[in-house]
């Protein structure tokens, strides 16, 4: 058996033996000890796994931000869209907005912005001409 395992690492042989003892080898006989061929085959599988595990990993991709992020652009658009409206509440979920609307705790014409999670009051009335 030594000549068949000579090219394998000690770690692969130890892991193969541990897996046979623990009964973790697929199609392993629970009544008989493994044959030399079965043991060498499992040791080779463990060696392949060890080699894969020790390969260098790719670096995590680095995000280089140029300008504003897309969500920041959407937040700014939402702020501009509701500019001039009073802020009624911040950090409000849609369910809370619906509940407040149903119980008439916010004025008619109020809007909820998903991008800002904010409830804005009604738009200010345009200046009226007096005759």
Q: Say if 61 falls within a structural domain.
A: no
Q: Could you report the per-residue pLDDT of 36-68, keeping only the tens digit for each?
A: 899 999 999 999 999 999 999 888 888 887 777
Range of the domain at 41: 2-54
Q: In terms of domains, do 6 and 44 share one? A: yes
Q: Say if 99 falls within a structural domain.
A: yes
Please state, in angstroms and rounded to a whole number, the distance separating the CA atoms of residues 47 and 14: 10
Q: In terms of domains, do 50 and 6 share one? A: yes
Q: Say if 129 falls within a structural domain.
A: no
Quote the pLDDT of residue 19. 93
Domain count, the chain: 2
Identify the sign of the CA torsion 103, 106, 107, 112.
negative
Q: Say if 16 falls within a structural domain.
A: yes
Q: In terms of domains, do 116 and 77 share one? A: yes
127 sits in the region (left: phi over 0; alpha: psi -120 to 50; else beta) called beta
- pLDDT surpassing 90 at residue 11: yes
Q: Say if 47 falls within a structural domain.
A: yes
- Return the SS3 of 60: coil
**pLDDT category, 126, cuts 50, 70, 90?**
low
Q: In terms of domains, do 7 and 50 share one? A: yes
Q: Say if 75 falls within a structural domain.
A: yes
Q: Say if 85 falls within a structural domain.
A: yes
Tokens 């109020």 — which residue? 110
């Amino acid at each position: 058996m030594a000549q068949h395992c000579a090219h394998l690492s000690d770690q692969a042989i130890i892991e193969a033996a541990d897996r046979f003892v623990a009964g973790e080898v697929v199609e392993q006989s629970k009544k008989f000890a493994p044959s030399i061929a079965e043991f060498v085959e499992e040791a080779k599988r463990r060696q392949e796994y060890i080699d894969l595990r020790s390969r260098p990993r790719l670096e995590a991709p680095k995000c280089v931000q140029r300008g504003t992020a897309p969500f920041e652009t959407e937040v700014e658009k939402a702020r501009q869209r509701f500019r001039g409206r009073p802020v009624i509440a911040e950090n409000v979920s849609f369910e809370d907005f619906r509940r407040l609307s149903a119980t008439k705790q916010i004025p008619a014409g109020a809007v909820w912005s998903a991008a800002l999670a904010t409830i804005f009051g009604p738009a200010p009335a345009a200046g009226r001409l007096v005759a």
